[in-house]
Amino acid sequence: MILTLVETDLDGAATEVSLEAVSFARDISAAGNGVPVDAVVFGDVSEDLRAELSAYGVRTVHRVGGDDVAAYSGAGWASAILTVRDAAGSVVIMAAGTDRGNELMAHVAARSGASMAANVLSFSGLTPFVVTRQVVGGAAMEEMNLHQRPAVFTVAGHAVEAKPADVSGAGELVEHTPTIAPEDLVARVVSTAEPEADESGDLTSAKVVVGAGRGVGGADKFGDVVELTELLGAALGVSRVVTSAGWRPHHEQVGQTGSRISPDLYVPCGISGAIQHWAGCSSAKTILAINSDAEAPMVTRATYAVIGDLHEIVPAINAEIRKRGYGA
């Protein structure tokens, strides 16, 4: 079977990128004569979550619980995933390309003696299993053969659309309480805290992101950009320069050392587009750049560009949106 890690949010619902991964797994199943798709979930599995995964074609939901996995541990949780794999058998182990998904799949691959492909966009063969993935911060694509079994990889955010299956799966719930070796629990989460207020929304799953860079000009000059974000029902993302200057909090940063986004529309305002930032936004389907420099890397890579002062252009856009009665 195909075993897919499903991450949940604070309300216990499956995250959008995890549902995308399950949808990707279903595509593999269709190409492989109906190989069953199973899900592995750590922690509580509500009836709503079970029903949702069933609607996405999941045959079996493997709930992993117990004291050893109550707190997150990369090595410990990977060991638990392989326990599920050994019990149920799988030819593929996969996850969404989140920080946690990438870490866990790296552990799983290392323990299995297999290669791991991160940020996969598509597959083109099953024998061997051939995938295409993003590399160099999304600036290039690489075709990779995963000869070993299980094939281990993560799916880039928004590489596929999350959509329910034509035929629901059984959604059978199976409980697992693995015993984890003490050495696998040396590095684990020992405490958690409430995050600071986040005005950016969930950058990694946002369909629309408005970006802001050095060109904004200062911490007190974000009003128009924030208004555009609200009118579009978007998430706010910023460049590293902005967070380094203390103009906006780090959790809003997009880039190599921030969030990697894959929205349908990205509107970078006053962002030059250095390679570190491009690494975080190159998966955007459409980019509308607003910049005073017609030769800025972001402008030359954008789908569309408006050249000029963002403090003149963005207010004009906001006014037109309000005039037409649009806005979130």
Phi, psi of 131 (to 5 degrees): -125, 155
Q: Is the pLDDT of residue 86 over 50?
A: yes
Look at 87 and 70; give whichever has higher pLDDT.
Answer: 70
Residue indicated by tokens 């069953």: 36
Residue indicated by tokens 């939901």: 61
Contacts of 194 (CB under 8 A, 6+ apart): none
What are the respective helix, strand and coil percentages of the chain, to the nearest 5? 35, 25, 40
Cβ contact 100:72 at 8 Å: yes
Rounded to whole angstroms, how far apart are CA atoms 56 and 66?
26
Q: How confident is the model at residue 127 (pLDDT cuts 50, 70, 90)?
A: confident
Rounded to whole angstroms, how far apart are CA atoms 291 and 303?
13
Which strands sit side by side in the sheet containing 208-212, from one edge to the other? Answer: 235-238, 208-212, 265-269, 286-291, 304-307
Rounded to whole angstroms, how far apart are CA atoms 58 and 169?
5
On average, the pLDDT of the chain sits at 90
Query: Which of 71-75, 195-199, 201-205, 255-259 is modeled with the greatest confidence?
Result: 71-75
Cβ contact 293:270 at 8 Å: no
Q: Is the pLDDT of residue 75 over 60?
A: yes
Q: How confident is the model at residue 195 (pLDDT cuts 50, 70, 90)?
A: low
pLDDT in tens, 129-151: 899 998 876 667 889 999 888 99
Q: Is the pLDDT of residue 197 over 70?
A: no
SS3 42: strand
Q: Is the pLDDT of residue 259 over 80?
A: yes
Q: How confident is the model at residue 327 (pLDDT cuts 50, 70, 90)?
A: low
Look at 91 and 51; give whichever has higher pLDDT.
Answer: 51
